[in-house]
Amino acid sequence: MKTPKDLGFRFPAEWAKHESTWLSYPHNENSWPDKIETIFPSYNQFISEVAKGEKVNINIQDQKTQDLVTSQLQAIGTKMENIHFHQFRTNDAWCRDHGPAFVLKTNQKAIVNWDYNAWGGKYPCELDNQIPLQIAKHLDLEVFHPHIIMEGGSIDVNGEGTLITTTACLLNENRNPHLSQAQIEEKLCNYYNVENVIWLGDGIEGDDTDGHVDDITRFVNPDTVVTVIEKNKNDENYLPLQENLKLLQKSRLENGKQLNIVELPMPNPVIWEDQRLPASYANFYISNYGVIVPLYSCPQDEEAIDILSKLFTDRKVIGIDSTDIIWGLGSFHCLSQQEPKL
């Protein structure tokens, strides 16, 4: 069967123009035990900011929830003509990982439907696994089936032929134990249409995805990444993030050039009931209107916003408190999936 690469489809960088953003509205109290009500103000603010520049498609459980969310969004002045609900039921809210990967060529859009097992079988996912197919049917799009386990948060691309990922996640035995690193890389190249894969090592503490790259290193333009650095040598994230920095310094882009590397601070540790949470400024989402950055009520918030504002000069950089959202073990990038514009 022909792959997206064979047919000339490509997976655009996140800063390319969006048709819409897809979300799966949070409803699973097991992800935010005793806390889910606290996340809705920040989550709704996130929707409202994204809706300023593009359509927002929201997978929602039922009509009752849709009516409630509609009234909440109206109350904060959301641009409601850009809000579109779909009663596609989900197990959880992490649309980056269970949502479709949209690929484009000149006048055609398609979906890559990676298999999904909720980060190595950690949680139920039978409904989440249907989301790409439901969206493809709704939009009447062709679907490619790579037949390997993958999550959107485990990769990032520069739109020019380079993809970045981690061995901690993609080579984990709970994903595709029957495949070698070379075989996985071949799938990435054929289905995202890239020719250059940069492999980093471990992710950050508290990340139940086994090391998603969207918590540590992100492209901000075709030749520049931001990567999070822990300054406290006694912190458990210090050494893994230093190792990743060294790997980035040795890496090359698809054109053979070195990466421009900009360091982002890590926030102060966010701990809930003795559990370290995967708080990171790298989990920002690039929308048409602005870059939505998770904040954690600590002094480094301002520094992170300042660094990202200097890099994204073409759109607004907007900080939204993520202190409660991160209790679900992810933030704005984990919660969203871009649909690029033809």
Check if the beta carbon of residue 65 is closer than 8 Å to that of residue 76: no
Give a three-class secondary structure readout of the chain.
CCCHHHHCCECCCCCCCEEEEEEECCCCCCCCCCCHHHHHHHHHHHHHHHCCCCEEEEECCCHHHHHHHHHHHHHCCCCHHHEEEECCCCCCCCHHHHCCEEEEECCEEEEECCECCHHHHCCCCCCHHHHHHHHHHHHCCEEECCCCECCHHHCEECCCCEEEEEHHHHCCCCCCCCCCHHHHHHHHHHHHCCCEEEEECCCCCCCCCCCCHHHCEEEEECCEEEEEECCCCCCCCHHHHHHHHHHHHHCECCCCCECEEEEEECCCCCEECCEECCCCCCCCEECCCEEEEEECCCCHHHHHHHHHHHHCCCCEEEEEECCCHHHHCCCCCCCEEEEECC
Q: Which amino acid is at 142?
A: E
Residue 334 annotated in active site? yes
The set of catalytic residues is 334
